[in-house]
Chain A
Amino acid sequence: MLNLQDIDRAILDDLQNDFPLSVQPYQEMAKKLDISEAEIFERIARMKASGLIRRIGGIIDSRNLGFYSTLCAVAVPEVRIDSVAAVINQLPGVTHNYLRDNTFNMWFTLTASSDIKAAETIRDMEGVLGLKIIAMPARKVYKIKVSFDMGSKNE
């Protein structure tokens, strides 16, 4: 665990869940936390440099934008892992790709403009790789939580 001060935790909670959408958002945050804007910048820059903050921006819901996305998995022979990963990664619709400890050892998400386009891409990839890809589209969402509680509110 990184050595974070309470003020860093408060900044992280606000950055994740209460980011003010305004022309000068950091000024508002600084005011609320009773520190200077310069200090906010300094602390955020440090947490970015350490790798804790991946990025600051928007998280898009591809479905509400009319896109189709599905989780896919494929059982890749050990010796082909790197070359198959390279083929899969190169597709612009692939946003995540992981090696996992399962019979199906490569898991990736594919986003496309429609389910038909996604099915085509999968078929093409199966042809190129000579491997069967299983597609597992979501049918129901019970939870999507993309922020992490840094605990500033209950300290």
Chain B
Amino acid sequence: MSNDSIDRSIIGLIQGDIPLESRPFESLAKELKMSEQEIVARLRTLQKNGIIRRWGAVLRHQKAGYVANAMVAWKVAPDRADEAGNIMARFSEVSHCYLREVPETFGYSLFAMVHAHSDEQLLELIIAISEKTGLSDYQVIRSLREFKKASMKYV
């Protein structure tokens, strides 16, 4: 196997749930006919290269007490996007913030995922963000049902 295909196999296998065992990479190493040390070294390199963005536990935010969550899309002038995006990023309750290319039929290009412990808190938070950024035209887009949440299979 080439280096690249080994890394691809590793990436494929670590996107699920690794076994809760004292040596969690043992079966992965066996499967790829490598030592556990070698797997760990490759994981470290993948993390250093930014291919693994983070390693560890993924939580369900609802169960972590963040029961009020929303995607908020803001209308922003192109020359004000960076300033507003950076202000939003400084809120600890904002987990993701992106500027997106959006069609005119939608028109709201600055996206922030916001998390709070109650609906009331969520509303206060959105108002605080609006005041700090000076952006007053926005849509609060809450999820009603989860149809799918999975890891991508990069092959």
Contacts and interface: CB of A to CB of B under 8 A. Distances in A.
Contact of B59 (A16, A23, A88, A143): A16
Nearest to A106: B147
A15 interface: yes
Query: For this complex, into which size category does the number of interface residues on chain A fall?
Result: 35 or more
A10 interface: no
A60 B59 contact: no
B126 interface: no
A25 B125 CA distance: 37
Interface string A28-44: 00000000010001001
A88 to B, nearest CB: 7
Interface residues of B, number: 73
A19 B55 contact: yes
A11 B108 CA distance: 39
B65 A1 contact: yes
A25 B24 contact: yes
Contacts of A51: 60, 63
Contact of B144 (A21, A59, A100): A100
B1 interface: no
A16 B143 contact: no
A21 B99 contact: no
A97 interface: yes
A2 B64 CA distance: 7
Contacts of A142: 82, 85-86, 88-89, 97-99
Interface of B: 11, 14-18, 20, 22-25, 36-37, 40, 43-44, 46-47, 49-61, 63-66, 71, 81-82, 85-86, 88-89, 92, 94-103, 105-106, 109, 111, 117, 139, 141-154
